[in-house]
Amino acid sequence: MIEVKNLTKSFKQKNGEVFNAVDDVSFIAHKGEIVVLLGVNGAGKTTTMRMLSTVLKPNSGTAIIEGNDVLLQPQKVRANLGFLSGDTGLYARLTGREIITYFGRLYDVDDVTIKNRIKNLSELLDMNDFLDKKIDMLSTGMKQKVSIARSIIHDPPVMIFDEPTSGLDILTAKNIIDFIHKCKDDGKCVLFSTHIMREAERIADKIVMIHKGSILAEGSWKELQEQTGKRDLDDIFIHFVDQQKESEGAADEF
């Protein structure tokens, strides 16, 4: 389970101004649930996820992952977390098996378990043909499969996907979407970020819309439809953005 509590992160820009990348964001993602963080580029999705994965420290607020605080027990948080993003690379000179084994060991999984899991994952993701080839020789789709296996080798209860499908063709993207459904079926808590509305429509149990660092709206697709009276997620999103603009304009008038 992920509990995000008033998470805030600001960066100092070169011109000295402070820029709020994430501003007082809170939401909850339960076990066996797929929560989609939906927003345009630069909305604060990656920053939020980096704070959850403990590589960035929030300025205020915190998040609890599987009972561990990202600020107080970053080590335990990371051990309970699988992380996959669209632009994560792999070691070109190593083979898929070597990379997955390496990460398994970094997560303190014993060698026998690693071996068994690689066998299972290889079947599941259909990797038998290229698991022992160097990454250099693989296609994008094959690399993506290795990355997936790498992110889940320690069988974490929580999975975080940061725009994992960006730049992938439909077939490769489908691998990932299938994998995410599998994670849900296994009872994992899944947090998924994307700027593609259709993806959110397809897989989300709950959608958290984020814009300019703040949360616009939160709920299942159905709930959001009822709330706005609009059908498509695109229209719903634009509706909330307009609403935010209006309230900002109102605030400015004061």
Partner 1 sequence: MNFKKILTIYKKEMLDILRDKRTVLSAIVVPIILYPLLIIGMSSLMSRQEQKIENQSATIYIDNQVKDNNSAKITEALASAKNIQIMNEVDDPFALLDENLVKAVLTISDSISDTGYQIIKVKISYNASDEKATSLFSQINKVIQEVKDDIVGERLKEINIASDILNAVEVLEDNVAPPEQMFGFFIGKILPYLLIMMIISSGAVVASDLVAGEKERGTLETILVSAAYRNELVFGKYLTIITISFITIFLNLFSMYISIQHMLSQSGLELENVDLPIGNFALILVAMLPLVTLIAAILLSISTFSRNIKEAQSYQMPLMLVGMMAAMISMFPAFELNVGMALIPIVNIALLFKDIMMNNFNLNLFLIVVGSTLFLDLIAIYFSVNLFNNESILFRTSDEKSLKFWGKGSKNVFSEQFMTLYFIAILVIFYYIGSRWQMENITMGLIKSQLIIIALPVLLILRFSKSDIKKSLRLQNTNVKNYFVPILASIPVVIVAAIISQVINLIYPFPESYLENLQKIINMSDFPLWKNILIIAVLPAICEELMFRGFIIRGFEKRGFWNAIIITAFLFAVLHLDPFRFIPVGLLGIWMGYLLLKTGSIFVPMLAHALNNTLAVLLSRDYIPFIGKIAEDGELPYWSIIPALIIIYVIYLWVEKINLKIERGE
Determine if 72 is a binding residue for partner 1 (CB under 8 A): no
221-226 CB contacts, 8 Å cutoff, 24+ apart? none
Buried b (16+ CB within 10 A) or exposed e, 8-41: bbbeeeeeeeeebbbbebebbbeeebbbbbbbee
Q: Which of 41, 93, 252, 253 binds partner 1 (CB under 8 A)?
A: 93
Tokens of 127: 């990797």
| 102 touches partner 1 (CB under 8 A) | yes
- Give the pair of three-digit tokens for residue 152: 């889940």
Residue 172: CB minimum distance to partner 1, A: 17
End-to-end CA distance of the chain: 40
- If DSSP codes are grouped into helix, strand and coil, which group holds residue 250? helix
- By CB under 8 A, tell whether 87 contacts partner 1: yes
Distance separating alpha carbons of residues 243 and 11, to the nearest angstrom: 26
- 45, 78, 97, 206: which one contacts partner 1 (CB under 8 A)? 78
45 is an interface residue for partner 1 by CB under 8 A: no
- A 10 A CB-CB count for 192 gives 28
Q: Which of residues 200-219 bind partner 1 (CB under 8 A)?
A: none
Stretch that binds partner 1, among 52-60, 122-130, 168-176, 244-252 (CB under 8 A): 52-60
Told to check if 154 binds partner 1 by CB under 8 A, we report yes
Q: What angle do CA 178, 183, 140 make, to 5 degrees?
A: 45
Q: Which stretch binds partner 1 (CB under 8 A): 13-21, 124-132, 196-204, 246-254?
A: 13-21
Q: How far apart are CA 194 and CA 163, in angstroms?
A: 5
User: Smallest Cα–Cα separation from 38: which of 176, 180, 166, 206?
Assistant: 206
Smallest distance from the beta carbon of 151 to partner 1, in angstroms?
8
Distance CA 127, CA 139 (A): 12
Closest distance of CB 24 from partner 1, Å? 20
Total residues binding partner 1 (CB under 8 A): 34
Q: Is 183 in the site for partner 1 (CB under 8 A)?
A: no
Provide the minimum distance between the beta carbon of 80 and partner 1 in the complex, in angstroms, as a whole number.
9
Binding to partner 1 by CB under 8 A, coded x per residue (else -) over 130-149, reads ----x---------------
Segment contacting partner 1 (CB under 8 A): 18-26, 32-40, 104-112, 188-196?
Answer: 104-112
Q: Which residues bind partner 1 (CB under 8 A)?
A: 14-16, 50, 53-57, 75, 78-79, 81, 83, 85, 87-94, 98, 102-103, 105-108, 134, 150-151, 154
